[in-house]
Every structure is written in C-alpha cells, then in structure tokens.
Amino acid sequence: MSAQIAVLALAHLVVLLTLPFVVVGVIQRTKALWAGRKSPPLFQLAFDAARLLRKRPVYSEVTTYLFRVGPYVVLVTAVVSGMIVPILGARAALGFPFDFVWFAYVWGLGRVALMLGALDTGSAFEGMGASREATFSAILEPALFLVGGAACLITHERSFDAVLALRATTVTGGAGAGVWAGSVVALFILVQVESARLPVDDPTTHLELTMVHEVMILDHSGPELAALQVGSAIKLTVGLSLVAAFLNPLTGRAGPPLAAAANVALCLLLAVAIGTVESLVARWRMRAVPQYIVVALIAAGVALLATTWQIGGAG
C-alpha cells in the first residue's frame, strides 16, 4: 500500500515538473497559430530556464536578502502546493482533509514572497504591480473557498477528493449541474487571474503601467528569473489541471492510467483555450478586473447555493 502511494507520488511529481513546460509551449503555439506566426519550439521555456541558470544575476543596490530568496519561495510553494492537487485525475497521493485550505494559504505565501521582492527594489513600477496583485488576490480569495465548500457539502468529502467524487457520482438534476458549472467558471477565472493571463494581465507586454505580475519581476535576472518563470508555469498548470479534473469524463469510470492520461490531455486542451482567449481578447482596463473577479465570486456563489437545492431535494 505504501509502495503504491510512493509510486503515485513520484508519478505526480514527475508530471508536476514536466507538464508546465509543455503547457506553456502549447499556449505559445496556439497564439502563434492564431497570429499566423511561426511558433517557438514546444520546450522554449525549458531552454530559457537552462540559459538563465547559467547566467550571473544582477541585484539592485537597494535590495536585500528577501529579493534574493523570494523567487525560490515562489517556486517551492508552487511545487509543494501542487503535490496535493489531483492533477492525475485520481486522488492525489498526499491529500488530507481540507487540503484546499492549506493549498490556498501556501499560494498566499508565494504571493507574499513575490510582493516583498517587488517592494524590495524601491521601484514605483514594482510597487504598483504588488499593490494590484494584493488587491486582486484579496477579493479573489473567497472564490476557491466557496467552490471547495460547495463541492464538500454536496459530496460529503473533505478535500480535493470532492472534485473527483463530484465527477464520479452522477449528480442528478439541474442542481448538480449548477454546482459543476459554477465551479468550472469560477476556477477558470481564478486561474486566469492567479497566473496573470489575458484578459486580466498581459504576460508579454512591456508597458509597465498596465501590468500586474510581470512588472513585479522586472529586476529579477539569471537563476531567480528562471525560478519565477518555472514557478508561475507550475501554478498555471496546477490550476488548469484542477479545472481539468472537474471536466474529466473518465474519473471513476476508467482505470487510473487512463483517467490520468485524459486529465493531462484535458489540461493541454485548456491551455489551447487559454491561448485562444489571449489571441482574441485584448487586455482589459484595470478598473474592469475587479468586476471580472466578481463574476468568479458570483459563479462560486451559484455553485454553493445549488448545494442547498440538491441536499434539500434529496432530504
């Protein structure tokens, strides 16, 4: 039994550390396809990271140890929190009760490290990015708890397993569909905001006044920049895998290897969706972002309210 868990955890870790490179490559390829450009290689992020690792970093004169350590905190929190999310479409090897609470707070730790690193440079631009990140994440934070709470209430599970249970048991009626649809919408928006994708934030722009995430890493270079880029790619992949677990039709109906393959494939499909959105939509004004986040909150609220209907109807 414990050997099985070890194998599962190892497979989980391998996927967690390799899939992000593919996901970023797929998004780039999708965007290139829409724009009619020739796309960079699928593993461009890996090449970039390898190149950056060989470089000597440059630190600003005003920075301190927080600036130096921050990127690694981001990387570690992304990996450690990813270990409990069911990215393989089956129970994560290391899940525990209310692991989504822990997950949210570990992401919070990574965010705090990133924001402190940004403020450490004393740059007005980076301060602006940190301020926006803090604001958006604060109003977005309840969404994950509403979705998690709704899934737990309807399935009587207490962790990310609830997602799987929601897929495995055929939740009857429009109410079950309400929980499911609300959760998917809320989580997709959550991924877009948290991993700084369009239409919330533009990962490619160089106009600092409009950026959130990218502006906070302006001063990072060399290995630290690599850690930040890989870290945010992992966060993106973890988020997309969670949405994929909600969508996965094979959960509980096929063997674990097949379900895992379906989940990874769905995650890549979602990457295509992200790339498509980025190609077709322009970045919104900053003022519109809180409204977009409120959409996520409303969707999560709908998911939660749907549970009363479900349980009330059954009982």
Partner 1 sequence: MILLLVSGASLVLGAILALALRGNVARATAALASQAVASAATLAAVVPLLRAGGGELVESWRWPYPIERIAVRVDALSAFFLAWSLPMTLLGTVYAVGYLRPYFDRGRNGGPHFALLNMTSLAFLVVYSVQNAMVFLLGWEIAAVAAWLLVIWDYRNQKIRFAGFNYLVSTHLGLFVLVAAFMLLHAQTDSMDFQTFRRVLEKPSRMRAAVFLLLGASFALKSAFFPLHTWLPRAHSAAPAHVSALMSGVIHKAGLFAFLRFTLLLGRPEAWMGWCVLGFGALSAFFGVLYTSSQRDLKRLLGYSSTENVGIAAMGFGVGYLGMAWHAPSLVVLGFAGGILHLFNHALFKCLLFYAAGAVYRATHTIDIERLGGLLRKMPRTAAMFLIGGLAISALPPLNGFVGEYLIYSGLLSGAGASPTENVVLVVIAALLAFVGAVSALSIVRAFGVTFLGAPRDASVHAAVDPPPSMLWPMYLHAAGVVIVGLFPSLGVAATRGATSLFRIADPSVAQLDVAAVLAPVTWAARVLAATLVVVGGLGWLAGRGARRHVTWGCGYTAPNVRMQYTASSFSSPFALLFVGFLPQLRRAKLPEQVFPQQNGHLATHHVDAVERRMFEVLGQGEEMATKASDKISEEPRVAFAAGLVAIVIIFGLLVGVGR
Site for partner 1 in 129-148 (CB under 8 A): 130-132, 134-135, 137-146, 148
* Minimum CB distance to partner 1 smaller for 25 or for 199: 199
Determine the angle formed by the axes of helices 65-82 and 2-35, rounding to 10 degrees.
110
What residue has token string 């920075």? Answer: 63
Q: Is the Cβ of residue 83 or residue 268 nearer to partner 1 in the bound state?
A: 83
Amino acid at 254: A
Q: Which helix (H) or strand (E) covers residue 301, if one does?
A: helix 288-314
Residue in 284, 71, 44, 78 with CA at minimum distance from that of residue 195: 78
285 scored as a contact of partner 1 (CB under 8 A)? no
- The reply on whether position 299 binds partner 1 by CB under 8 A is no
Distance CA 21, CA 2 (A): 30
Element (H, E) at 78: helix 65-82
77 part of the interface to partner 1, by CB under 8 A: yes
Closer of 26 and 52 to partner 1 (Cβ): 52
- Per CB under 8 A, 229 contacts partner 1: no
In the shown chain, the binding pattern of residues 158 to 197 toward partner 1, with x for contact by CB under 8 A and - for none, equals: x---------------------------------------
Residue 53 or 258 having the CB closest to partner 1: 53
User: Using CB under 8 A as the criterion, what x/- string covers residues 21-60 for binding partner 1?
Assistant: --------------------------------x--xxxxx
Cβ neighbour number for residue 206 with a 10 Å cutoff = 10
- If residue 30 lies in a helix (H) or strand (E), which one and from where to where? helix 2-35
**CA gap 133, 2 in Å, rounded:** 40
- List the one residue from 41, 255, 257, 290 that touches partner 1 (CB under 8 A): 290
238: closest CA among 72, 56, 107?
107
Q: According to CB under 8 A, which one of 19, 22, 26, 150 is a site residue for partner 1? A: 150
Binding mask 232-271 for partner 1 (x = CB under 8 A): ----------------------------------------
Q: Considering only the stretches 152-160, 247-255, 260-268, 277-285, report the one whose residues sit in contact with partner 1 under the rule CB under 8 A.
A: 152-160
CA 315/CA 300 separation, integer angstroms: 23
Contacts of 208 (CB under 8 A, 6+ apart): 125, 128, 129, 215, 218
Identity of the residue, 270 or 289, whose beta carbon is nearer to partner 1 in the bound complex = 289
What are the structure tokens assigned to 180, written together? 């499911």
Q: Which residue number, 111 or 197, has a Cβ lying nearer to partner 1?
A: 111
Q: Which is nearer to partner 1, 11 or 139 (CB)?
A: 139
| x-or-dash string of contact with partner 1, 86-115, rule CB under 8 A | --------x-xxxx-xx-xxx-xx-xx--x
Kindly state the smallest distance separating residue 136's Cβ from partner 1, in Å: 9
Longest dimension (CA), the chain: 65
CA-to-CA distance for 237 and 266, rounded, in angstroms? 11
Q: How many residues bind partner 1 (CB under 8 A)?
A: 88
Residue 202: CB minimum distance to partner 1, A: 16
Q: Whole-angstrom Cα distance, residue 236 to residue 201?
A: 14
Q: How far is the CB of 128 from partner 1 (least distance, A)?
A: 6
